[in-house]
Amino acid sequence: MLFAVIVGIPDDRLGERSCLCLVPKPGVSPSLDELVAFLGDSVATYKLPERLELFEQLPFTPTGKIQRHLLTRQVVARLTGAA
């Protein structure tokens, strides 16, 4: 199953930027440009992701919802080099 979610990551100038977090199919390595082109005119320009982060799995609650706050922390940790 393929999972994707957009989360907001902190930005000094704008306050927040959008980051697409994706669990790709095995053997597939999509690029941000490919995904933005795929979204094309179906998504407003200001909603398009500005960053792509690939994951092996996303954090879920026991009821099956994606834990966006944990995902945001993971992305920020990747960007800052924190463990």
CATH number of the domain within which 67 lies:
3.30.300.30
71, 64, 63: which is closest to 21 by C-alpha?
71
Q: What is the model's pTM? A: 0.86
pLDDT in tens, 1-28: 578 899 999 988 988 999 999 999 888 8
Query: Rounded to whole angstroms, how far apart are CA atoms 10 and 63?
Result: 28
Residues facing 17 on adjacent strands? 9
> Domain of 14?
3-80
Percent of the chain with pLDDT over 90: 65
Distance CA 68, CA 73 (A): 9
Domain count, the chain: 1
b/e code 50-74 from CB counts within 10 Å (16+ = b): eebbebeebeeeeeeebeeeebbeb
CB 35 within 8 A of CB 27: no
